[in-house]
Structure 1
Amino acid sequence: MSVMPIHLYGDPVLRTKADEVTTFDKELRTLVRDLIDTMRDEGGAGLAAPQLGVSLRAFSFNVDDVVGHIVNPVLEFPDEEVQDGPEGCLSLPGLYFDTVRRQNVVAKGFNEYGDPLQIVGTGLMARCLQHETDHLDGIIFIDRLDKEARRAALEEIRQQPWYDDEVRVKVSPHAPKNKGLFFKQ
């Protein structure tokens, strides 16, 4: 099991559009395992590679006992139906804000070996697929809130014990095995 530190709100990697995966090799398969192991350890519904400090277009998911991953996802929306409900993020631990998302989505991409993959999601799975794909585009779910709700969310973030406006890069309490440029201890 490879549980990795999760990069928290404030880390620039979370605001950077991730690079498309072009090589489906052992390193990618290791990244996918790290994503799944860390997501499960943290109890999350999804985890994107940028949250582990890796700027590649890949994420894992665990929704309604369906565990998997997708590489280079592209989302399609079969209808205009929306859902509004609480959403959280492992990079903003302990915080949940009502967020509007599409109710139905089709994600097309690849598995860790480069084979084509399609995931049809509704409800929570649709929310997860949209949330994690946003991470790959440098978007954090609070960016989807209206102006007033976003202002309130930012105020709540500033009050969190893990938030430090003097330090731009933060990670989860899991100590990294190898300290790197983006880890705060």
Structure 2
Amino acid sequence: MSVLNLLYYPDPGLRIKAEPVKKMNSKINKIINDMFETMYFQEGIGLAATQVGINLKIIVINIDQIEEIVLINPKLIEKYGNSYIEEGCLSIPDQRAKINRSNFIKIQAINRIGNKIEITASSLLSICIQHEMDHLEGKLFIDYLSLLKQNRIEKKIKKLYKFKNHNKYEI
């Protein structure tokens, strides 16, 4: 396993819509393993493939440090309820904002071994899945904010970091 390079906002790669995984194979399993390694290295609870420059519909999640969840080609089936929670993102370091998400969701996906699964999630898991599914559509949590708040975050990021090599920041 290896740690992959994380894309940081405003990298245009974060705005690309991911393509469906067509076939499970050893290459996809390596990507999944590397994504988990990267997520743990970055001390995150979820990671979408687009965040590491891989334009495939793959999400890895581990919110409790116990159960690893792999979602391939996830589709939202049902959602209800509201939850405002402060979100952050590995690709937008040191920035957080309260976002309105559905508290309960049901999704269909393919798991790590290629089986179709259905997951009903609430609370933090629901929010994490929605956040990562947004990444697969080229959407970031800051897109839910007002333009004024988006501009403030962008100014903070530009002040804190210098954008270098299209995908890395230098402090």
TM-score, normalised to structure 2's length? 0.90
Corresponding residue for residue 127 of structure 2: 127
Corresponding residue for residue 47 of structure 1: 47
Structure 2: runs of 5 or more not aligned: none
Secondary structure at the counterpart of residue 7 of structure 1: coil
Corresponding residue for residue 170 of structure 1: 167
Corresponding residue for residue 61 of structure 2: 61
What value does the CA root-mean-square deviation take over the aligned residues? 1.8
Aligned mates of 1:96, 1:44 — CA distance in 2: 14
- The one-letter code of the counterpart of 2:74 is P
Corresponding residue for residue 180 of structure 1: none
Corresponding residue for residue 176 of structure 1: none
The percent of aligned pairs where both chains have the same amino acid is 30
Aligned mates of 2:110, 2:55 — CA distance in 1: 17
Structure 1 contact 107–129 (Cα < 8 Å) conserved: no
**CA deviation after TM superposition for structure 1 residue 75, in Å:** 1.3
Aligned mates of 1:7, 1:90 — CA distance in 2: 9
Superposed, 1:1-185 pairs within 5 Å as 1-65=1-65, 66-79=67-80, 81-161=81-161, 163-164=162-163, 169-171=166-168
Aligned mates of 2:101, 2:63 — CA distance in 1: 16
Structure 1 contact 108–117 (Cα < 8 Å) conserved: yes
TM-score, normalised to structure 1's length? 0.84
**CA deviation after TM superposition for structure 1 residue 53, in Å:** 0.8
- The one-letter code of the counterpart of 2:131 is H
Structure 1 contact 25–113 (Cα < 8 Å) conserved: no
Aligned mates of 1:84, 1:155 — CA distance in 2: 24
Aligned mates of 1:60, 1:157 — CA distance in 2: 26
Aligned mates of 1:172, 1:120 — CA distance in 2: 37
Aligned mates of 2:74, 2:112 — CA distance in 1: 12
1:66-124 residue CA offsets vs partner (Å, 9 max, x unmatched) = 32111000113342x11112101111112111111111111211013321122221111
Aligned mates of 1:154, 1:101 — CA distance in 2: 22
